[in-house]
Chains A and B, each alone.
Chain A
């Protein structure tokens, strides 16, 4: 290990002259070194492989794969199949969510909550401790779990199934034409699909795109994929306000269709914004696009269940619960700290109401979105809690009233709070088009290492959301 002094000097000098020689050679070879070397490598591997591998011609398995590929990427069937699969996944999620959500809410909100309250009374806990812990933190968490767990537990396994089978790259193949036209990378279809699960995963998955320009576009537009945190809001509001417009036997399909429409609007918006970025701040030509279409593999049920339920569902749920706890505290405090007999939340919503109404929303929704910046999934509980408060004077009562929770009663609560069909539609739109949750924002910053692009990713959707809701409100006014 030990080198004597002069030896090192000598070595450094020789290294320097070696480097000079290397540079001379490099000027001779130019960029050809790589080509020449790689050709030798391919040559060698060709020789080895032809010596050890015996391959039949087209086997049946291979022919079948080719056939499947021809169908799922064909002009005629490619897009319909894609749309049907997407719709099927969403529809199953929406329809399948209904009952488990009610059971969970029956258990966590209707049974455990009163029990906790009575325990608190028995042990004579001070009003503010039991309020903060049980009505604030526990109730919000219970809400988040009962509203979020079922759709995720249904959506993630189905999505993982498609992923494991090998269908996602075919989606990217089909959609690349569109992405190329808006100046984005074809693999953005993959990151967008990941975003339907969770935008954080979508943003991280954008690493598969090599070109920095196109990767930024993929990261900034990922928020337009309606993530799992926002599904519950969409589903509940669609069921209450839109599904109920149709005859009851069509209710499920109509509400599912409206949620799918919102998701499709999200895809459209992501393309639109990609195009806008490509034309303005992220100008440039499409970079190289090469995508491997892997062979179809029979799905492995055990792995899929593990990945989707433990790795995805629980991780995402865990994160939401982490954020539900402080949010629950904030909600409870804003409801229970009063000045001149009126709560803090009341002042805030009063103050924001005129502006919010102008966008076809209301002050409560605005306030809820501010409280819910850490996690989208707590938007709905916050809205409900604050709305209930509006209709009753005491925050204490309001908090407990929410326990009576079924779609019908929720509808009554909201309608009593002055909600109209316009409010519902605009809430669905605003839920799609607003800033990403704080975890996503943080991830975007980590991935881009740039405050500027993080700001773009945060504010583009919010501005779009305000513009869209504003326009819808105006159009509504003209025709309504």
Chain B
């Protein structure tokens, strides 16, 4: 066998990507795909896996979870397309599925797909996801549309502010995909260490309550990565979190 000539190519060579469709055997990394509805999440999924998830221009089109795989630079990635949600806090089934997967499915990287023309709306979910996980990549999709609307985005500052890599893509037109793959790889392999932004609570009483509970959580489960978020979930009455603590699903995560 000859050595793969592509392994030495610059990243812009699309030949580094091999779409594996539904062949998810022997993967090296699990990648979760999260984002608001109608941000072109399914298009990103289809572009990477070569599958044909339904896409449609109305929110909520993807009503179930889809899985696929791709190979990039000799590593196999399993890609899980989560249902599109506005938030991760509600009791609706969609949000529960997305939340549970990011929390318990232990993805190596969570790719958050956003719409470049409505970054502010999408940022709400981005910040919530960064509360849960340390390993994320922001995919700012639909940049072609943003250009059409003369919107300019400073990706560098955005990446610095959020503490995670940012890639601008236009999945429907196949542009920006190599950068996205590269950034995913960097986080998955650990060559980029994320320092995700954590939200400061404006309300003093709530901030104190969260601080108090997360302190106790820390003494109970030393090294818990997202104690503050779990404290918030506890105050929200999320019993599945309690069960997870009980059964050690969360506590042992760090041992």
Q: Hey, which bits of chain A sit against chain B, CB under 8 A?
A: 1, 11-12, 14-15, 18-19, 21-22, 25-26, 29, 33-34, 36-46, 48-49, 51-56, 59, 61-62, 160, 163-166, 168-169, 190, 204-205, 207-208, 210, 291-292, 294-297, 300, 303, 306-307, 310-311
Q: Name the A residues within 8 Å of B219 (CB-CB).
A: 14
Q: Name the B residues within 8 Å of A21 (CB-CB).
A: 212-213, 216
For window 139-177 of B, CB contacts with A under 8 Å fall at 145, 148-155, 157-158, 161-162, 172
B232 is an interface residue with CB less than 8 A from chain A: yes
With contacts A48-B123, A49-B119 known, what are 4 further pairs, Cβ within 8 A? A1-B255, A52-B153, A208-B60, A294-B58
**Alpha-carbon distance between A33 and B206 when the two chains are bound, in angstroms:** 7
**Alpha-carbon distance between A307 and B236 when the two chains are bound, in angstroms:** 41
Decide: B216 and A310 in contact? CB cutoff 8 A. Answer: no
Decide: B56 and A163 in contact? CB cutoff 8 A. Answer: yes
Cβ-closest chain B residue relative to A170: B58
Surface stretch bound by A, among B2-10, B21-29, B183-191, B196-204: B196-204
Q: Which of A14, A59, A165 touches B150 (beta carbons < 8 Å)?
A: A59
Q: Name the A residues within 8 Å of B217 (CB-CB).
A: 18
A-B contact pairs, 6 of them (CB 8 A): A33-B235, A44-B199, A164-B57, A168-B57, A207-B60, A295-B145
Decide: B57 and A297 in contact? CB cutoff 8 A. Answer: yes
**Alpha-carbon distance between A29 and B148 when the two chains are bound, in angstroms:** 45
Decide: A303 and B149 in contact? CB cutoff 8 A. Answer: no
**Alpha-carbon distance between A198 and B172 when the two chains are bound, in angstroms:** 26
Decide: B161 and A51 in contact? CB cutoff 8 A. Answer: yes
Q: Which of A25, A40, A311 touches B52 (beta carbons < 8 Å)?
A: A311
Give chain B's interface secondary structure class: helix
Decide: B92 and A15 in contact? CB cutoff 8 A. Answer: no
Give chain A's interface secondary structure class: helix
Per-residue contact bits, chain B 196-229, to A (CB 8 Å; 1 contact, 0 not): 0101111101100100110011011000000000
Per-residue contact bits, chain B 83-100, to A (CB 8 Å; 1 contact, 0 not): 000010100100000000
**Alpha-carbon distance between A316 and B25 when the two chains are bound, in angstroms:** 30
Q: Name the A residues within 8 Å of B234 (CB-CB).
A: 19, 22
Cβ-closest chain B residue relative to A39: B202
Q: Name the B residues within 8 Å of A44 (CB-CB).
A: 127, 197, 199-200
Known: A22-B213, A51-B161, A169-B58. A61 touches B206 (CB 8 A): no
**Alpha-carbon distance between A42 and B219 when the two chains are bound, in angstroms:** 31
Decide: B58 and A168 in contact? CB cutoff 8 A. Answer: yes
Q: Max chain A CB contacts within 10 Å: which of B58, B117, B126, B154?
A: B58
Q: Which of B117, B235, B251 touches A29 (beta carbons < 8 Å)?
A: B235
Q: Name the B residues within 8 Å of A291 (CB-CB).
A: 59
Decide: A36 and B203 in contact? CB cutoff 8 A. Answer: yes
Decide: B245 and A15 in contact? CB cutoff 8 A. Answer: yes
Q: Name the B residues within 8 Å of A34 (CB-CB).
A: 89, 236
Q: Which of A18, A25, A56, A295 touches B151 (beta carbons < 8 Å)?
A: A56
Per-residue contact bits, chain B 119-149, to A (CB 8 Å; 1 contact, 0 not): 1100110111000000000000000010011
**Alpha-carbon distance between A45 and B126 when the two chains are bound, in angstroms:** 9
Cβ-closest chain A residue relative to B57: A166
Cβ-closest chain B residue relative to A43: B202
Q: Name the A residues within 8 Å of B119 (CB-CB).
A: 49, 52-53
- Nearest chain B CB to A36's CB is how many angstroms away? 4
Decide: A52 and B154 in contact? CB cutoff 8 A. Answer: yes
